[in-house]
Amino acid sequence: MKWIAAVLLITLLALVPHAATAHVLVTDETGSKGAIVHIIPDDDPVAGEKAVLYFDTQGGLLDDQASVSFTVSQSAGEVVQMSTTTDGSLVTAEYTFPVQGVYDLTFTVDTAGKQYIFDQSQRVSRGIVGSALDKPSYAAAEIGVLASGIGIVLLLIVAFNRRARLASHSSL
């Protein structure tokens, strides 16, 4: 009886939804140092809302002499230098991703005359879609409308030129 209750309890706990959290291990450009990246909310930031980015460095990378910089860049070329807070091996930054897209997160640590650069791509797929100034391209639809219009005009010209033959066939 106790075994059945235990199995039912474990099954129930497995079926209860849990909040998703994911951590990404990122290595520097040389592959010698690592940092765990975590983004709140749910490692899936929302464009237009504040996100908190955590970089937990590994292997004693941060010491009292280390300087840390963090930049966010988008494919449009805009690069934003972020201010960071350091607490032991944990570096924290806050950023509001302006629109949906793919961003490049660059975390740089300068310590003991060496520089360690960590790059991470982050897709933002929720929230604000684009700038109010962005105009979607409807080139294919415009070409289709133009081709349809030309086709209808040509059909009317052919029908007008053959109106006598069309009239003789319809009177049968």
Paired tokens of 137: 């391209």
Q: Could you read off the pLDDT of 96-148 as tens digits, one per residue?
A: 888 888 888 888 888 878 888 888 877 787 766 765 445 566 788 889 999 99
Query: b vs e for 122-153, b when ≥16 Cβ sit within 10 Å of the residue's Cβ?
Result: bebebbbeeeeeeeeeeeeeeeeeeeeeeeee
Is residue 133 domain-resident? Answer: no
Specify the pLDDT at position 146.
92
Same domain, 154 and 72: no
Query: Are residues 121 and 74 in contact, defined by beta-carbon separation less than 8 angstroms?
Result: no
CA-wise closest residue to 31 among 7, 59, 5: 59
Cα distance between residue 24 and residue 2, in whole Å: 40
Same domain, 95 and 164: no
Same domain, 11 and 52: yes
Same domain, 80 and 52: yes
Whole-model pTM: value is 0.55
Is residue 113 domain-resident? Answer: yes
Q: Using the predicted structure, report yes or no on whether residue 14 has a pLDDT greater than 60.
A: no
Total Cβ atoms within 10 A of residue 154: 10
Same domain, 88 and 160: no
Cα distance between residue 64 and residue 47, in whole Å: 34
Cα distance between residue 61 and residue 89, in whole Å: 7
Paired tokens of 92: 């924290």
The β-bridge partners of 86 are 91
Of 7-16, 39-48, 69-78, 117-126, which gets the smallest average pLDDT? Answer: 7-16
Query: Are residues 43 and 26 in contact, defined by beta-carbon separation less than 8 angstroms?
Result: no
Cα distance between residue 138 and residue 120, in whole Å: 33
146: containing domain: 139-170
